[in-house]
Structure 1
């Protein structure tokens, strides 16, 4: 399916903002009682105690049940570095299949080495029910959902297009915030620039749903914009900003950024499709913190 091919469905989108991680999870569906997809779920995690909870995910579950929706897919736009995925919990409660971009295998290979994970940790993506290639289409009831490869923030980043809506993950933020960092392993500012141009080549009225918002002082949280708004006003990627200028800006900016608070726990969980590491002999699962390694 071409990016220029109009899709007839105008989906309904419900966003759930998690203030602890500035993350937005989504449920996309056609009508009450229809099939749906859940995108970028959050499992609450307290880094001080190492405890998890399901407050954020339960809000999604409550909505799905209230609307009488049937979960077809639980999707990730990438292996997040700022929150843990609640995909296994949602799947247990609601059903559905998990899916991720096929290039998650490259991310798994890198981080298996960084965390020195157990020898039998598979780096072929088998933790997910489905690995998606660029352009692949999934059925969400009668709605086709198209996977679009948008590398740059990570090699495995996927955006998802449903009708006039695109869930862009961490490629873009609101116009007054700009774009995602590209300094994680496998990140590439030049690739991100190309990915954003792909998204911004869609029709001007296309709705873009963002995975995060980090609002400047004085603005409330927002997570929906349009191609037209991004092309006119994105501080990093509006029309007229060329690739070389973007790469120069992005590289300089990334050099000043601290590591996300939850990166080390989050990536370990998210490359496992949200599952915890195998429990040790005492029945407890542990996360690793590599010292002086990242």
Structure 2
């Protein structure tokens, strides 16, 4: 766990919890004046080999919130994750918080409902589906919702004061990676536009990324707009070159091992099926050559 301190009124104190198996980062963002907070992208444990689930990965986060005396108002998912199962519904049940995600989760559900051969109905699973540009408060901090598709159709950034939770857009250690765009509904062109939208924020805006995959170093997950604009190698040659690079790179990546389980759970705020049975669509995705199983950034 690592802390990024508040920079003053309206700026949240942010705690990041890195989960090494999938490289995911779970966040708590707190208003220091009121002790109210939001949780972003909590992780539910899932073993693809045994299909066993657990909530051990999110418990340290909840223990830290309790020790700090914080009150959770919202638990949020930035998008329907493909590499891990969400713990949003579990956290909602433990804290009394409301659960929310981007409104275009409806579009993702329509795509995946067809793939699974069963209706995906996110409407009743979430307390709120946020539209682009909506705002809400966490104590004295304002949170703005920004639609940033590319990795998925439904990806949103939650901008809380000077802290932007940019999901799977920028990824990895600062100024190194960009998320893949080859899942159903993804688009490298839309990703470029989303990245430029993020870079239009003030240069000191803190960017909290969705993943890091450290090898021989400590995990990192905080960057800022100025650093990414100046140093990220994938943003220096323009839109056409970016799209060509991203699409070529994506063709080399395997599907995350948890994806077919994760989507049907994550579209419903991390709720497991009532009958305890997951559906797996057969022969829908061609086998790709690539590296290790992970929602890789580079």
TM-score (norm 1): 0.90
In the other structure, the counterpart of 1:148 is 146
Q: Within 5 A, what are the aligned runs for 1:262-281? A: 262-279=258-275
- Residue in 2 that maps onto 1:105: 106
State yes or no: 1:211 paired with 2:210.
Answer: yes
Distance 2:224 2:88 in 1: 28
Shift, 1:63, TM fit:
1.0
Tell me the secondary structure at the aligned position of residue 198 of structure 1. Answer: helix
2:20–2:213 CA contact under 8 A, matched in 1: no
How far has the Cα of 1:88 moved from its partner? 1.2
Determine the C-alpha separation between the residues in 2 that align with 1:290 and 1:95: 34
- Whether contact under 8 Å (1:154, 1:182) holds in the other structure is yes
CA distance in 1, matches of 2:16, 2:48: 25
Instruction: Tell me the equivalent position of 2:176.
Output: 177
Kindly report the root-mean-square deviation, in angstroms, between the aligned alpha carbons of the 2 structures: 1.5
Answering whether residue 193 of structure 2 is matched by residue 197 of structure 1, we say: no
1:215-264 deviation per Cα after TM superposition (whole angstroms, max 9, x unaligned) = 3x443210001111101111212xx3210010010011111111011111
Per the alignment, residue 138 of structure 1 pairs with: 136
Q: Which runs of 5+ in 2 are unaligned?
A: 1-7, 286-298
Residue 79 of structure 1 corresponds to which residue in structure 2?
80
Structure 1 position 176, deviation (Å): 4.9
Cα distance, 1:32–1:95 mapped onto 2, change above 3 Å: farther
Q: Pick from 246, 252, 259: which aligns with 2:242? A: 246
Q: Cα distance, 1:31 vs. partner? A: 2.1
Q: Secondary structure at the match of 1:56?
A: coil
Q: Partners of 2:201 and 2:256 in 1: how far apart?
A: 31
Offset at 1:50?
Answer: 1.1
Asked if the contact 2:43–2:57 (Cα under 8 Å) also holds between the matched residues in 1, the reply is yes
Q: Indicate conservation of the 8 Å contact 2:34/2:139, yes or no.
A: no
Runs of 4+ residues over 3 Å off in structure 1: 174-177
- The alpha-carbon deviation at position 56 of structure 1 amounts to 1.2
How many residue pairs end up in the alignment? 277
